[in-house]
Each structure stands twice: as C-alpha cells, then as structure tokens.
Chains A and B, each alone.
Chain A
Amino acid sequence: MSNENGLNRRRFLAAASAAVGAAGLGAAAIPFVRAMQPAQDIIAAGVIEVDLSDVRGGEMRTFLWRQQPVLILRRTPEMIERAGRIDPGTLKDPATPEERVQRPEWLVCLGVCTHLGCVPSLQPGRLPGFDQPGLLCPCHGGQYDTLGRRVAGPPPENLYLLPHEFLGDTRLRVGAPSFAGVSAAVRKLENLPKP
C-alpha cells in the first residue's frame, strides 16, 4: 500500500471511528437526559378524582392539583343565563360557553390569574362595575365571568382550563399524565388532551 493510500485509509478510519463514537455518546446521553424528566410517580399524580356531591349551586371549591389551584364552580341557572348574554366578540380573549365548559352547570378551571398568578375569588353578588356575579382577583383587580372569561382588568387571557371528565354526577376526574397545567395555557376545551 502506497503512502498516499495509507494516509487516506488512516484518515477514513479515524473519521469513521469518531463518527461512531459520537453516535455512541449521543445514545448514551439519552437515558441521562430522560432521567431528569418528571418521574413516574409525578406523572401518575397528574390524575386525581374529586367528590362533587357537597358543592351546592352558586358555591365554589378550590383544591390543589399538581401543586396548582383548581376551581370548581357550580353555576346557578341565573349565572348560566347571564354569562350566555355576553357577546364573545367583545371579549379580549373570545370564547363561547361551549368552548369553556363540558356541562354548563360546572366550571372547572385553573385558579391562577392570567395576569400575574394570584388566586381569584368568587363574587356571588356583582363584580364591581359589572352586572353579573364572577371572579375577582384581589391583586390587581382582574375580573372574570362565571365561565372564567376575562371581562375587565389587566389579565390578558381567560382562566386556563385543564383536562377533566365527569364520572356520573358526583365525581370528577381531573388532570392528565403529562399535562403541565398553567404553563400549558389552554383556554378552549378542544385544545385539551384526554384525561
């Protein structure tokens, strides 16, 4: 083998070995990268069931799901009718009632104000400057109707939704294995993953 051939062969072998080595290192890195993802128990804790039987009309419950506050509001017929009268086109973040709730009687959403993250509270009477009940955020005065849609104040978006499924009339399954919650920022039911 001439010198020229030998040099080319050596270069080829070195390059080929380096390429295979790099591929090997890349493959070896995969388990370590994946190991830093949320562990299976965290994923499994992403789906919980709650009992609805003690929530009366007009009442709101808050509970923690994945360290995030979730609101369940049992809407009265008056609440349903009044929120239905709002024209979605006038909203900052337009959404129709069908895009927000599976059953009109139950609002299920994340209780995290889309402005800066405080937990809004229920105003069963009237919101200030508004002729309907709704949710009021104490921090900067953001206001949401009983469908969690932003109607006044600094919040840019409606309250975020999370996957939920009604089990009969008394139980609710909330969350999905890999659903992140607030950071997913889902505002319409059709964009939610299955529980």
Chain B
Amino acid sequence: MTRVPQWLQDRFPLRELLERHVTEYPAPRNLNYLWSFGALALLFLAIQIVTGLWLAMYYKPDAKLAFDSVQHIMRDVNWGWLIRYLHAVGASGLFFVVYLHVGRGMYYGSYKEPRELLWWIGIALFFALMAQAFTGYLLPWGNMSYWSATVITSLFGVVPVVGEQLVTWLRGDFAVGDATLNRFFAFHVALFPVAVIGGLVVLHLTALHRVGSNNPEGVDLDKHGPDVIPFFPYYVAKDLWFAGLALIAYFAVVFFLPTYAMEPLNWEPPDLLATPGHLVPEWYFLPFYAVLRSVPSKPGGAVAMQAAILIVALLPYLDRSPVRSARHRPVKRVLTLLFFVNFAVLGWVGAQPPSSAGVLLAGRVTTAIYFLYFALLPLLPRFERARPAAKGRWA
C-alpha cells in the first residue's frame, strides 16, 4: 500500500496520506460492530450518489413531466426499475445506518470532550441529510410528495414578521408548484450533495482523525501504546465484512420488499384539490413529526420539532459525568436504552392518524419523555455511582 512511484511522491503526499490516515492510523483494538456504522453510512452515501446520478440521466424536473419520467425509468429504461429501487431503499438504508451511528455516539459518550466539534459537525450532517431527503421526496411528484412538501414548507410560516413571505420565497410561488420542484431538484442534485459530501463529511472525518475514535470502554488510549491497532488491515477487513452483511439485508429489501417503506399514495400524481386523509412522512421523519403534532400550537410544534434535534447538540454540556461510556454508568445505561425505545414509540405515534385521544396522549407522553432524558442527564452525577473502567481488560 505504501509503494508509491517516486515521481508522484515528489509532487503529491500520497504515501504520507495513506500512512497517516489508513495503513498506520491508530484505532482502538476493542471497537465493536457499532463502530462500523460510520463507514457504512459512507457506503450508502456512495450508493445514493451513483444511483442518483443515473436517475438524473432520465428524470425530468418539470411538473408536467416529472411523474411520467419516473414511470419511464421504471418501465422503459433498461434496469431503470432496479436503479430507482436502489435509490429509494438506499435512502431508508442511509437513515437506518445513521440512526444506529448516532445511537452508538449517545450510548458510549462519543460526544464528550474532545469530540464536541465532531459531534456538532455530525448534527450539521444530519440536518443536511434531512434536507436532502426532503427535497428528494418531492421529485417523483406523487400525491404524498406534493402534500408533504406543502405541509413542511408552510412550517416556515411560523417565523415572526417575515414568515409568510419566507414560505413564498422558499416555494418560488404562492403554492408548491413547478417552481418549487425545479429548485428542489437543484438543491437535491447540486447543493446538498456538495454541502454534505464536499463539506461536511470531509470535515467530519478530519475532526475524527484529529481526536481519534472513542471505544466501548470510553477510556482514553495511548495512540502509540499496545491498545491500538492500525486501521488497515484490521478495521478495513472488519468493515468490509460488516458491509457485506448490510448489503445482503439491503438487497433483500431491494429485490423482495422494495415498496415496503414506499407510500402507496405516491404512485399517483398529485390531486391539488384533495389532501389525502392520512398524511405521513417517510419513516425516518416519523419521530420528529410526532413531536411536531404533540404541541397544540403551530409555532410551538415547529419550535419543539427543531428543539428535538438541536438539543442533541447540547449533550457534551448536559452530560456532566467524568465517565464516558454507558457501560460503566448503570443509570445512564438504562435511561439511554429507554430513550431509544421511546424514540421508536414516538415513531409509531407519528404514523398514526392524529384523530384519536389515545394517540394524542401517547404523543405528548413520549415527547415529554424524550426531552426529560436531556433534563435528567445533568443530574446523574449526583447519585450515580459510575463503575471505574477496568484497566487493560477488553470485554
């Protein structure tokens, strides 16, 4: 891996880059498979870019042509159905992987000093990813595409004073229409991929390589000591293996259940005069959608939804314990696992029609539990007896 021709080496630091960041990059030797999800996220991002590029060869971002161009891809383009399903399922796959990646971070305290900046770059990445998914979802110009774009763009109306003008400016029209579709295409194909990849992923990896990976024990490791191993070949091999498993699951869905997470209403063009009875976003937005609906006021709901994501950025300061990993913190461990379960229940709530009182109550309770977790964290060091990390023993 480090045999680089001298001509190239005199002009480009390829060998140094490979040595510093791959072949001699120190990684903790006790990382479990939860640490593979970052690399998996990069893999799924690459899949989305490649399949998205191919779709863009045939997709037409015009309100009169968009829906039919997607059908053209599904029916006439050679292997078009496969590329479309790879992209649609890949978006779900990317979010699934990213949620597990974030969950790992929350559980093992990967947000704590010195990784705060890394954490915030990750949150920025998550926002960019959500914007990417949201703009992408409008493109097929199905019934659900149209109506969810209408609902979410109208949320910007809660901004005081300029709210309504902001919504019109965002849409490029007084309602979601061709102008909106065309610019969402530009955002989805040019703006967010560049911002996500060119910008934030590079920043994310740079910050990571500065501070090094956390590990399940949460202890700081000597980067030249016996407890680190070179990233290549060990974690390259481990990640490749795990990627193989992930791809099996991915392709199983692509070939046998591609429409499982696809909203049936989106197989119809928009009906501008009739909102569907049951508006549902894609599954990965459901928890935040539930938070939005749990607060009875429109501005309150919008603020709560944003707060639900932004509060995660405060974790480095909310968590005051000197111990990083939940492995050694019995109370935080239970609370965090409950948080994850609650997140899933919040997701279920988001999928229910909002009419029943039981669902409304469940939404408010789960939203309260969600924020309660962050409120409780600072209090933990007062009564939690964290077990000290066992030195030199890797579970």
Interface residues of A (CB under 8 A from B): 14, 17, 31-32, 34-37, 39-42
Chain B residues closer than 8 Å to A14, beta-carbon distance: 233
Counting CB contacts under 8 A, is B75 at the interface?
A: yes
| Contacts across chains A and B counted by CB atoms under 8 Å | 35
Chain B residues closer than 8 Å to A40, beta-carbon distance: 75-78
Counting CB contacts under 8 A, is B133 at the interface?
A: no
Q: How far is the CB of B89 from chain A (nearest CB, A)?
A: 15
User: B76 and A35: CB pair below 8 A?
Assistant: no
Chain A residues closer than 8 Å to B77, beta-carbon distance: 35, 39-40
Question: Contact check: which of B72, B79, B83, B233 meets A41 at CB < 8 Å?
Answer: B72
User: A41 and B76: CB pair below 8 A?
Assistant: yes
Counting CB contacts under 8 A, is B317 at the interface?
A: no
Q: Can you name the residue of chain B whose Cβ is closest to the Cβ of A13?
A: B237
Chain A residues closer than 8 Å to B78, beta-carbon distance: 31, 34-35, 37, 39-40
User: A34 and B79: CB pair below 8 A?
Assistant: yes
Also in contact, A31 and B83, with CB within 8 A (given A40-B78, A41-B76): yes
Q: How far is the CB of B67 from chain A (nearest CB, A)?
A: 16
Chain B residues closer than 8 Å to A31, beta-carbon distance: 78-79, 82-83
Counting CB contacts under 8 A, is B54 at the interface?
A: yes
Q: How far is the CB of A23 from chain B (nearest CB, A)?
A: 14
Counting CB contacts under 8 A, is B4 at the interface?
A: no
Counting CB contacts under 8 A, is B43 at the interface?
A: no
Complex-state Cα separation, A32 to B49, whole angstroms: 13
CB-CB contacts of B44-82 with A at 8 A, as 1s and 0s? 000000100010011000000000000010011111101
Q: How far is the CB of B248 from chain A (nearest CB, A)?
A: 12
Q: List 13 A-B contacts (CB under 8 A).
A: A14-B233, A31-B83, A32-B54, A32-B79, A34-B79, A35-B54, A35-B57, A35-B83, A36-B54, A39-B80, A41-B72, A41-B76, A42-B76
User: A32 and B50: CB pair below 8 A?
Assistant: yes
- Please give me the 6 A-B residue pairs with the lowest Cβ-Cβ distance, nearest first: A31-B79, A40-B76, A39-B76, A41-B76, A39-B77, A34-B78
Q: How far is the CB of B365 from chain A (nearest CB, A)?
A: 46
Chain B residues closer than 8 Å to A36, beta-carbon distance: 54, 57
Complex-state Cα separation, A15 to B57, whole angstroms: 36
Complex-state Cα separation, A41 to B58, whole angstroms: 13
Chain A residues closer than 8 Å to B79, beta-carbon distance: 31-32, 34-35
Q: How far is the CB of B15 from chain A (nearest CB, A)?
A: 21
12 more contacts with CB within 8 A, not counting A31-B83, A39-B80, A42-B76, are A17-B240, A31-B78, A31-B79, A32-B54, A32-B83, A35-B54, A35-B79, A35-B83, A36-B57, A39-B76, A39-B78, A40-B76
Q: Can you name the residue of chain A whose Cβ is closest to the Cβ of B51?
A: A32
Q: Can you name the residue of chain B whose Cβ is closest to the Cβ of A14?
A: B233
Of B50, B57, B77, chain A has the most CB atoms within 10 Å of the CB of B77
Q: Can you name the residue of chain A whose Cβ is closest to the Cβ of B233?
A: A14
Complex-state Cα separation, A32 to B52, whole angstroms: 11
Q: Can you name the residue of chain B whose Cβ is closest to the Cβ of A31?
A: B79
Q: How far is the CB of B335 from chain A (nearest CB, A)?
A: 42
Q: How far is the CB of B230 from chain A (nearest CB, A)?
A: 15
Q: How far is the CB of A47 from chain B (nearest CB, A)?
A: 15
